[in-house]
């Protein structure tokens, strides 16, 4: 195989697959990227056996064929290439030459026959969704990451739903780590070929990889079939194997009684939390909130370091509530809310606390208090 490609294009493509090829799998070859040259273009394939990437691009193919090469090394090589173009050629069996003017690399590849097949899913009914919305949905939900030793599907994965309501249809992602949960809805237009379906659990890692391709085009096709979630763009496709498991019944947790709403300024609240979290450590990671008549007092105590206290005026007219939270959870949430005014829906010190924007209702965050 022999082809010529612009340095910028190949860098971008290889940048997108690093997350996938960088993940350890049971096969050594998954650290490689498969490059196939056919007719007028070349395709790049990468997989970690859970998430697969496939992209087709225009390139100057002189001789057809296929190679696999270590994705990290190839990425580093082309990134540092001077000039505009890179020439890649298989000069002997699995012996790949990468060159441009006076620079030449010879890299050992692996046999393309050993490269695992990325699953082919046919006859998928795709729904068209604005790329920005999907990306936002992913970014806000994968914010709640799973610890590296976590095995439970409902924590390592995000619940993806397609809900048909009386007058609207929406896609929803829900993510949790057992202590907090967030939900992002995206409304789907009538003409966008919405297909309602069962809830599925999608690995957070795969979603993060998918988010990387959601940058150029305006729309992405989203479809679920045969245990796969597929994101399809004009040139690129990401296909993610679904997780098996049950997602907890979260409806009860997100039920909201407006009577408990407290309105606060997002920025001021966020800054206050940051100041309070300075004293938190692994063993003392709580901040105590005292909601009293029109006044919120926040204290953080760490026996190893010291304590801090701050208060702010808020509109609050109920009986006093004292509640503890891990400030990190609140800060994470405030960082992804677009509204400047937010609603903190607080019942008492042992029920979930709901946080959302005053106007923007697509994103809802639920945080469980700590036991004082």
- Note the residues at the interface with another protein (CB under 8 A): 176, 178-181, 248, 250, 253, 283-286, 288, 303, 324, 326, 350, 352, 366, 368-372
Bridge partners of 238, per DSSP, are 53, 231
Nearest CA to 40 out of 54, 64, 56, 61 is that of 61
Nearest-approach distance from CB 327 to another protein, in angstroms: 12
Residue closer to another protein (CB basis): 132 or 248: 248
Nearest-approach distance from CB 323 to another protein, in angstroms: 10
Nearest-approach distance from CB 269 to another protein, in angstroms: 20
Residue closer to another protein (CB basis): 15 or 178: 178
Residue 279, classed as helix, strand or coil, is coil
Residue closer to another protein (CB basis): 131 or 345: 345
Residue closer to another protein (CB basis): 47 or 176: 176
Residue closer to another protein (CB basis): 88 or 159: 159
DSSP state, 258? G
Q: Which DSSP helix (H) or strand (E) runs through 225?
A: strand 219-225
Residue closer to another protein (CB basis): 14 or 368: 368
Question: What is the edge-to-edge ordering of all strands in the sheet holding 169-176?
Answer: 197-203, 157-164, 169-176, 180-187, 363-367, 353-357, 341-345, 261-265
DSSP state, 339? -
Between the CA of residue 281 and those of 278, 306, 331, what are the distances in Å? 8, 11, 15
Rounded CA separation 77/69 (Å)? 12
Rounded CA separation 13/193 (Å)? 29
Residue closer to another protein (CB basis): 258 or 282: 282
Residue closer to another protein (CB basis): 112 or 352: 352
Question: Helix crossing, 327-336 with 266-277: angle to 10°?
Answer: 150
Residue 151, classed as helix, strand or coil, is coil
Nearest-approach distance from CB 58 to another protein, in angstroms: 49
- With beta carbons less than 8 A apart as the criterion, state whether 60 and 239 touch: no
Rounded CA separation 243/158 (Å)? 9
Which tokens in the block code for residue 345? Answer: 């829906």
């Amino acid at each position: 195989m022999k082809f010529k490609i612009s340095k910028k294009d190949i860098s971008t493509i290889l940048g997108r697959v690093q997350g996938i090829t960088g993940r350890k799998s049971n096969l050594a070859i998954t650290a490689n990227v498969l490059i196939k040259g056919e007719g007028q273009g070349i395709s790049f394939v990468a997989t970690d056996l859970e998430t697969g990437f496939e992209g087709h691009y225009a390139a100057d193919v002189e001789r057809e064929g296929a190679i696999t090469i270590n994705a990290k090394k190839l990425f580093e090589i082309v990134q540092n290439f001077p000039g505009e173009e890179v020439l890649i050629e298989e000069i002997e069996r699995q012996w790949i030459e990468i060159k441009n003017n006076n620079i030449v690399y010879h890299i050992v590849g692996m046999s393309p026959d050993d490269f695992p097949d990325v699953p082919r899913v046919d006859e998928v009914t795709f729904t068209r969704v604005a790329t920005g919305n999907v990306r936002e949905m992913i970014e806000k939900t994968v914010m709640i990451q799973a610890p590296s030793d976590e095995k439970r599907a409902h924590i390592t994965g995000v619940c993806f739903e397609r809900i048909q309501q009386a007058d609207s249809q929406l896609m929803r992602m829900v993510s949790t780590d057992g202590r907090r949960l967030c939900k992002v809805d995206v409304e789907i237009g009538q003409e966008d070929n919405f297909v309602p379906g069962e809830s599925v659990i999608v690995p957070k890692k795969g979603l993060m990889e998918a988010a990387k391709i959601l940058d150029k085009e305006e729309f992405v096709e989203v479809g679920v079939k045969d245990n796969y979630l597929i994101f399809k763009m004009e040139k690129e496709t990401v296909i993610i194997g679904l997780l098996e498991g049950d997602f907890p019944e979260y409806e009860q947790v997100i039920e909201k009684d407006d009577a408990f709403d407290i309105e606060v300024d997002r920025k001021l609240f966020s800054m206050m939390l940051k100041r309070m979290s300075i004293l938190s450590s692994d063993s003392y990671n709580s901040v105590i909130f005292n909601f009293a008549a029109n006044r919120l007092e926040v204290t953080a105590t760490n026996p190893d370091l010291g304590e801090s206290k701050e208060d702010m005026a808020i509109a609050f007219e109920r009986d006093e509530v004292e509640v503890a939270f891990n400030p990190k959870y609140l800060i994470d949430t405030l960082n992804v809310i677009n509204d400047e005014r937010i609603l903190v829906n607080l019942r008492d010190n042992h029920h979930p606390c709901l946080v959302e924007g005053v106007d923007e209702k697509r994103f809802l965050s639920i945080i469980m208090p700590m036991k004082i």
